[in-house]
Structure 1
Amino acid sequence: MPHIADTHIVNRERVQPTHANNYESAHGGIVMKWMDEIGAMSAMRAAEETCVTAQMSRVDFERPIPIGDTALVESWAYATGRTSVRVRIEVSRENPRTGETEETTSAYATFVAVEDGTPVPVPELTVHGEKCKELRDRALAEEPERE
């Protein structure tokens, strides 16, 4: 069974002019694309299967990421259902010269494991050690109500 820490991914994207909106910062749709891609990778590590996005909820854009800064995209799976994986995604802006970071965007997403387009069962995620516990607790602290 996969551990929560096994699903933890951190990726960096340098914000270029082609990623920008009229305000010279990363376009929200581009940031969401990066979040969806990295989130799916975390889900696939948890599911050990191909995963597709089922939903993304509560995407909070708190501040912009200017051209020239780095978007630091972090995701991890923190819970599973029968065929689904819940993932926390956080984005920070990073100054490439100093390494200073500031949170910019966050979301929760649910991915479904599929094989030939049909949902398939996923293994249970396990909490093994302090890193797993810290990641799970971070995700659960702000998780939106589920219907």
Structure 2
Amino acid sequence: MASKLVYVLNGPNLNLLGQREPGIYGAQTLDDIAAMLIERGGMLDCEIEMRQSNHEGHLVDWLHEAQAEEAHAVLLNAGAYTHTSVALHDAIRAITTPVIEVHLSNPHTREEFRHKSWVGMAAKGTIAGFGANSYVIALEAAAAL
């Protein structure tokens, strides 16, 4: 039985995790999160493809690639693009690969402009507010699909 390929896509400024506003986003780096996901993925028979870009078009291209590669699921933390990107919304709707929206913090407890999610309107579901563990919870949900 082949392992389940799960893309983990991260948007703008997530390369700064661990140093950017640790009171909101935590002290763990994206590499720390990748290590957590690879470890948990091994237990769930999931292969992790972890990526980060500050460019919206890269995220759109990677969503298309996930579909082409027949990925089992995509975990997407689109960062600020969550609240602005109709392009990501449309890309998620254009593919059949399930997308789970992920957030370290809970956007609904933050500034009002963060309350609307274009990504969430198209995603299978959303995991938010559990810090780095949001990714692990989302991976467990993805593996169960």
TM-score, with normalisation over the residues of structure 1? 0.26
Which structure shows the higher helix fraction?
A: 2
Which structure shows the higher strand fraction?
A: 1
TM-score, with normalisation over the residues of structure 2? 0.26
Larger-gyration structure (1/2):
1
